[in-house]
């Protein structure tokens, strides 16, 4: 465990250092010192429903498709008051070995108006993204630790009609763990503890003094129903700099995810298991 924490800390430091270097090389991306006036906003509440699908199409390749439905507080209703976003994320995943995955794909985010009924705002705007991520898995005797680097290139505007499109980059690092609680391994029937921490940095023209877009801390519980279906649920706390001001946005997000993994290969292409005793 100590090794995991130490490794994770080293990785976060290295990532931040790298990001720092990156920002220094970019003329329009500077990290200003923390403004003394910065303060945390009152937390908003969200509910994120995520459906993750991964479909094996070849020995080392998968097609991923995710659908996220996110609702937020509105009109006195916490967590689910209005529709916030719908994400449609897809990609092609390369999984050459048991410790590494790389994925490249696109996202179409449907962003719903923050003020339903306000005709001055567009009800729905789109935000396309290109994303690629690199996932490293560290197996341990009784748990798995993952390090995820995700990079997103996004084009966004806002709900005010005629708004400009802004291009931003996101640099995300997440460390997460899956610790089986009622088992020694992540096998069907296992309930596991699923803590994660993700730091999301950003860059772009509009990003002046707010490179830290979000820091997400999520303790969750998961359950593996079978090798193809599992679930998780948790309450995530996030905080990050707003682009418009020095305020730190905070959120409580109730997250409910389902994970579906299917093998679409032809049966004859599935590598048969090896029975050593045969």
Contact residues toward another protein (CB under 8 A) are: 52, 54, 56, 62, 93, 95, 98-99, 101, 135, 137, 139, 144, 146, 178, 185-188, 224, 226-228, 230, 259, 261, 263, 273, 275-277
Beta strands in 36-158 (DSSP E): 44-56, 61-74, 77-97, 100-112, 124-139, 144-156
Q: Cβ closer to another protein: 186 or 253? A: 186
104: its two tokens: 């490249």
CB 235, min distance to another protein, A: 20
CB of residue 237 to another protein, shortest distance in Å: 23
In the complex, what is the shortest distance from the CB of residue 172 to another protein, in angstroms, rounded to a whole number? 18
Contact, 89 vs 131, CB < 8 A? yes
User: In angstroms, what is the C-alpha Rg of the chain?
Assistant: 20
In this complex, which beta carbon is closest to another protein, that of residue 219 or of residue 227?
227
CA 5 to chain centre: 21
Q: How far is the CB of 52 from another protein (least distance, A)?
A: 7
Which of 79, 136 has the CB closer to another protein? Answer: 136
CB of 179 or CB of 207, closer to another protein = 179
* CB 218 to another protein: min, Å: 15
CB 175 within 8 A of CB 146: yes
Relative to beta strand 191-193, strand 220-226 is antiparallel
| Residue located via tokens 């996932």 | 135
Closer residue to another protein in complex, CB, 93/170: 93
Separation CA 263–CA 229 (nearest Å): 12
The minimum distance between CB 124 and another protein, in angstroms, equals 30
Q: Which is nearer to another protein, 101 or 210 (CB)?
A: 101
Listed residue (137, 144, 150, 147) closest to 177, CA to CA: 144
């Amino acid at each position: 465990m100590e090794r995991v924490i130490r490794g994770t800390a080293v990785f976060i430091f290295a990532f931040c250092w790298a990001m720092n270097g990156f920002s220094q090389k970019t003329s329009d991306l500077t990290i200003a010192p923390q403004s003394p006036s910065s303060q945390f906003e009152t937390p908003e509440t969200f509910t994120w429903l995520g459906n993750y699908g991964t479909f094996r199409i070849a020995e080392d390749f998968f097609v991923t498709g995710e659908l996220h439905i996110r609702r937020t507080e509105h009109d006195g209703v916490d967590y689910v008051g209005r529709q916030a976003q719908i994400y449609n994320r897809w990609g092609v995943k390369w999984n050459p070995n048991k410790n590494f995955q790389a994925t490249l794909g696109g996202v179409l985010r449907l962003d719903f108006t923050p003020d339903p009924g306000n005709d001055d705002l567009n009800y729905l705007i789109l935000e396309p993204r290109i994303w690629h991520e690199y996932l490293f898995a560290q197996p341990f005797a009784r748990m798995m630790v993952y390090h995820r680097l995700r990079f997103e290139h996004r084009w966004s505007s806002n709900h005010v009609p005629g708004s400009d499109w802004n291009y931003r980059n996101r640099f995300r690092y997440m460390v997460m763990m899956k610790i089986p609680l009622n088992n020694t391994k992540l096998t069907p029937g296992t309930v596991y503890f699923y803590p994660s921490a993700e730091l999301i940095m950003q860059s772009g023209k509009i990003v002046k003094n707010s490179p830290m877009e979000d820091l997400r801390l999520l303790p969750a519980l998961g359950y593996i129903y079978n090798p193809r279906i599992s679930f998780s649920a948790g309450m995530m706390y996030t905080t990050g700099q707003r682009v418009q001001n020095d305020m730190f946005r905070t959120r409580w997000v109730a997250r409910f995810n389902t994970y579906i993994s299917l093998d679409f290969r032809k049966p004859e292409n599935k590598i048969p298991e090896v029975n050593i005793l045969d």
